[in-house]
Amino acid sequence: MSKGGMFGGGPGSFPQGKGDGKRPDRKKLDKKTMKSILWRLCGYIMNYWYLFIPAVLMTLFSNQLALLGPKYSGIAIDAIASPEGVNFAVVRENIVKMILCYVVSAVLSYILAFLMMYTGQKIVCKMRKQLFEKLTSLPVGYFDTHPTGDIISRISYDIDTVNSSLSHDLVQIMTSIYTVLGSLIFMWNISKPLILVFVVTVPVSVFFAKYRSKKVRPLFSLRSRKLGELNGYAEEMLSGCRSIGAYGREDVISGRFNDRNQDAMDAYYNADYYGCTMGPTMGFINNLSISLVMMLGGILYLYSQNGTVATGSMFFITLGGVAQFVQYSRKFAGPINEFANIIHELQSAFSAAERVFRVIDEEPEKEDDQNAVFLENTRGEVCFKNVSFGYSQDKTILENVSFEALAGKTIAIVGPTGAGKTTIINLLMRFYDVTIGSIAVDNTDVRNITRDSLRRAYTMVLQDTWLFCGSIFDNIAYGREGATIEEVKAAAKAARIDSYIESLPDGYDTILTDDGVNISKGQRQLITIARAMLANSQMLILDEATSNVDSRTEIKIQEAMRELMRGKTCFVIAHRLSTIQDADTIMVVLDGKIAEMGSHEELMKKGGFYSTLYNSQFE
């Protein structure tokens, strides 16, 4: 976030907990990747060259002015100190110059900060957009294998890291380079011999910074990792605080938490223990330089005073010159000390950018075949032919599954958890493509149909009800763009949720909030059923569609469900056998194979898995 950035190394530059805790493991990036990330970031920046280039010019200009300040003050002091008495004209002139310099420099630096922040925001906004749009184009499998928290930390935390680096570090680097070079030139002009001091002290501080950061960096990344672990543990245990209370395990869990707490704090301490020597040591080297400058400058001044050094000689120096030189040496040494910090920040920005780019570069769902047809006026005939499928190479979930669903018929899929029922649905919707065999809709291989039109041909009601934060109207109308309030109400009535919605103070405009406290699980499911009722497609998938609806409501909506299913090809997964037994075909899936298939009566007669299952409810 620009919080820290804008504050000029303000609160944000202090190592702060949560941010650091979530910081991605900073794997060492090799030089090649670093380079390509750098180029890519430059590409983003160059998209906004009309903001960036003025910002660069302003940086140079405002720094130049800031450097001129001490120069004028030196001249003014010399004018005050001149043996012929104070030269007021010179003093006045230089004071005006100083004021001008400082005011213009401040204004410029504000505009510059604004430009950089604005550019940063443009870039970040674009990155977030790209990342999000990539997400929606990824195959469903990606979401099954990547935890939500990880993506969220990429889209918020990592992008923020990149942002603060863009809007802060870049300016800092330019300023630093300019200040160092500028001060050097000024110092060179005042007195060349005095610069010798820095020939000694600068390499010492560079060496020390390098040596320290080599030692400290792994300690800091350990610290981040440990804090991350602690956060994760706290989050996990708090989500179970009720169970912990129910079993009276508070002390045990607190003890375990504290082990991690101690680990994290020790890691913090270790990193700090070595890290906190940096400031004072750099300060020492700084002070050392100034002491040396003073000694050397003093001696040179002495000789200049008593005439040992001639006025034109490079060893000649005035009192104002010594004072200026000391001021410039502070300016000169400051950025050199900062460099270690900036490089550290840049590295973390690079690894954050890499995490973001990795998602943006993720392979999207395979594009539709060039000759893919648009599915229209579907009859709803579905045919599985020798389908085998596994989510990963080494584990087959479905093996040689073949069946045919005729238009308008209902197929119920029965089987124990993990047998492959949901996988069949995933293949129907083409969330995944089959490994072997083929699936056809209306005699066309689904791989030759555009995904959009294929998916639109289905309506799905799933066990995990999905509602988004928006009004109830929006949530129901989600199934059909441009649905009118009458249509929505009719659907809600059919799903037996209308009277409940009307009883809410805001009716259909009620906003569903995240935690959904204002609405029960069963009611959420009814809303998704209403959504399905609006979407008028030829094929229907019901995956435990009424599992959260209590039985009495279920009876009430049964008629509506029957209405919904009429004339459509339906695929039904349910635990409740009452829902299943009316199906035209019942398919029993065991260990990824079709074990039995037939109508309720046929399967009962057969006396296999289904009949055992059916009878078990009466035991």
Partner 1 sequence: MKTVIGYLREFYGKMALGFGIKFIGTIAELMLPFILSHVLANVIGKDVEEIIFWGALMIVCSLIACVFNVSANRMACKISRDFAENLRRDLFKKTLYLSASQTDKFTIPSLESRITTDTYNIHGFVNMMQRMGVRAPIMLIGGISITLFMDAYLSLVMIAVLPLIFATVFFISKKGVPLYDKVQKCVDNMVRVVREDYMGIRVIKALSKSGYEHRRYDKVNRALSAEEVHAGVIMGSVHPIMNILMNAGTVAVIAISSGRVQKGLSSPETIIAFMQYFTHISMSMMVVSRMFVMYTKSAASARRVGEVLDAPEEINVMAKSVCPDSENSAHIAFDNVTFSYKGKKNNLSNISFALKKGESLGIIGATGSGKSTLIKLLMRFYDVSDGAIYINGEDIRTIEKARLNAMFGSALQQDFLYADTIEENIRFGRNISHDDVVSAARIAQADGFISKFSDGYNHMLSPHGTNISGGQKQRTLISRALAGKPEILVLDDSSSALDYKTDALLRSALRENLKGTTVVTVAQRVSSVKDCDLIIVLEEGEIIGMGKHDYLMESCTPYKEISDSQMGGAFVE
Residues 351-370 that bind partner 1 (CB under 8 A): none
Instruction: Pick from 36, 189, 262, 484 the residue near partner 1 by CB under 8 A.
Output: 262
Instruction: Pick from 55, 68, 135, 603 the residue near partner 1 by CB under 8 A.
Output: 135
A 10 A CB-CB count for 147 gives 9
Name the amino acid, one letter, at 102.
Y
Sheet strands (E) in 356-504 = 382-389, 398-405, 410-414, 436-441, 444-445, 458-461
Tallying the residues shown for the chain, one arrives at 619
d(CA 75, CA 92): 11
Name the amino acid, one letter, at 551.
S
Beta bridge partners of 459: 540
Query: Measured from the CB atom, is 53 or 99 closer to partner 1?
Result: 99
Query: Measured from the CB atom, is 248 or 312 closer to partner 1?
Result: 248
Query: Measured from the CB atom, is 117 or 340 closer to partner 1?
Result: 117
Structure tokens given for 375: 């599915």
Structure tokens given for 474: 């929006």
Query: Measured from the CB atom, is 38 or 140 closer to partner 1?
Result: 140
Q: Please, which residues have CB within 8 angstroms of residue 162's CB and are 6 or more apart in sequence?
A: 41, 124, 127, 349, 352, 353, 356
Sheet strands (E) in 43-178 = none
What is the per-residue binding string for partner 1 in 288-307, x denoting contact by CB under 8 A? x-xxx-xx--xx-xx--x--
Residue 511 found at the interface with partner 1 (CB under 8 A): no
Query: Measured from the CB atom, is 34 or 90 closer to partner 1?
Result: 90
Q: Give me Rg for the CA atoms of the chain.
A: 36
DSSP 580-612: HTTSSEEEEEETTEEEEEE-HHHHHHHTSHHHH
Full 3-state SS string of 290-319: HHHHHHHHHHHHHHHHCCCCCCCCCCCCCH
Residue 309 found at the interface with partner 1 (CB under 8 A): no
Residue 15 found at the interface with partner 1 (CB under 8 A): yes
Least separation in angstroms between residue 269's CB and partner 1 is: 4
Residue 312 found at the interface with partner 1 (CB under 8 A): no
Residue 551 found at the interface with partner 1 (CB under 8 A): yes
Least separation in angstroms between residue 144's CB and partner 1 is: 9
Residue 313 found at the interface with partner 1 (CB under 8 A): no
Instruction: Please tell me the count of residues contacting partner 1 according to CB under 8 A.
Output: 167
d(CA 478, CA 480): 6
d(CA 5, CA 12): 7
Least separation in angstroms between residue 162's CB and partner 1 is: 13
The sign one gets for the Cα dihedral 231, 234, 236, 239 is negative
Q: Per-residue b/e over 452-485, b at no fewer than 16 CB within 10 Å? A: ebbbbbbbbbbbebebeeeebbbbbbbbbeebee
DSSP 479-492: TSTT--HHHHHHHH
Beta bridge partners of 449: 373
Structure tokens given for 155: 């889209």
Determine contact, residues 419/425, Cβ cutoff 8 Å. no
Instruction: Pick from 37, 113, 174, 564 the residue near partner 1 by CB under 8 A.
Output: 113
Residue 42 found at the interface with partner 1 (CB under 8 A): no
In the region spanning residues 317 to 356, those forming contacts with partner 1, defined by CB under 8 A, are 319-320, 322-323, 326-327, 330
Query: Measured from the CB atom, is 86 or 485 closer to partner 1?
Result: 86
Structure tokens given for 109: 């630096």
Instruction: Pick from 107, 181, 200, 310 the residue near partner 1 by CB under 8 A.
Output: 107
In the region spanning residues 212 to 231, those forming contacts with partner 1, defined by CB under 8 A, are 227, 230-231
What is the per-residue binding string for partner 1 in 61-90, x denoting contact by CB under 8 A? --------x---x--xx-xxx---xx-x--
d(CA 94, CA 99): 9
Residue 202 found at the interface with partner 1 (CB under 8 A): no
In the region spanning residues 386 to 445, those forming contacts with partner 1, defined by CB under 8 A, are 416-418, 429, 431
Least separation in angstroms between residue 208's CB and partner 1 is: 12
Contact range with partner 1 by CB under 8 A, out of 98-106, 187-195, 212-220, 383-391: 98-106
d(CA 440, CA 382): 6
Query: Measured from the CB atom, is 106 or 181 closer to partner 1?
Result: 106
Contact range with partner 1 by CB under 8 A, out of 151-159, 341-349, 438-446, 484-492: 151-159
* Strand (E) or helix (H) holding 196: helix 192-239
Least separation in angstroms between residue 490's CB and partner 1 is: 19
Residue 569 found at the interface with partner 1 (CB under 8 A): no
Instruction: Pick from 110, 188, 211, 374 the residue near partner 1 by CB under 8 A.
Output: 110
| Phi-psi region at 583: left, alpha or beta (left = phi > 0; alpha = psi -120 to 50) | beta
Residue 99 found at the interface with partner 1 (CB under 8 A): yes
Q: Angle at Cα 111 formed by Cα 105 and Cα 114, nearest 5°?
A: 140
Instruction: Pick from 34, 51, 56, 155 the residue near partner 1 by CB under 8 A.
Output: 155
Contact range with partner 1 by CB under 8 A, out of 175-183, 207-215, 238-246, 396-404: 238-246
Residue 143 found at the interface with partner 1 (CB under 8 A): yes
Determine contact, residues 170/375, Cβ cutoff 8 Å. no
Instruction: Pick from 423, 553, 569, 585 the residue near partner 1 by CB under 8 A.
Output: 553
Instruction: Pick from 240, 313, 358, 559 the residue near partner 1 by CB under 8 A.
Output: 240
Residue 374 found at the interface with partner 1 (CB under 8 A): no
Residue 128 found at the interface with partner 1 (CB under 8 A): yes
Least separation in angstroms between residue 473's CB and partner 1 is: 15
Q: Per-residue b/e over 233-264, b at no fewer than 16 CB within 10 Å? A: beeebeeeeeebeeeeeeeebeeeeeebeeeb
Least separation in angstroms between residue 305's CB and partner 1 is: 5
Residue 31 found at the interface with partner 1 (CB under 8 A): no
Least separation in angstroms between residue 478's CB and partner 1 is: 7
Query: Measured from the CB atom, is 258 or 484 closer to partner 1?
Result: 258
SS3 label, residue 383: strand
In the region spanning residues 449 to 508, those forming contacts with partner 1, defined by CB under 8 A, are 451-452, 455-456, 458-460, 462, 464, 466, 468-469, 478-479, 481
SS3 label, residue 206: helix
Residue 554 found at the interface with partner 1 (CB under 8 A): yes
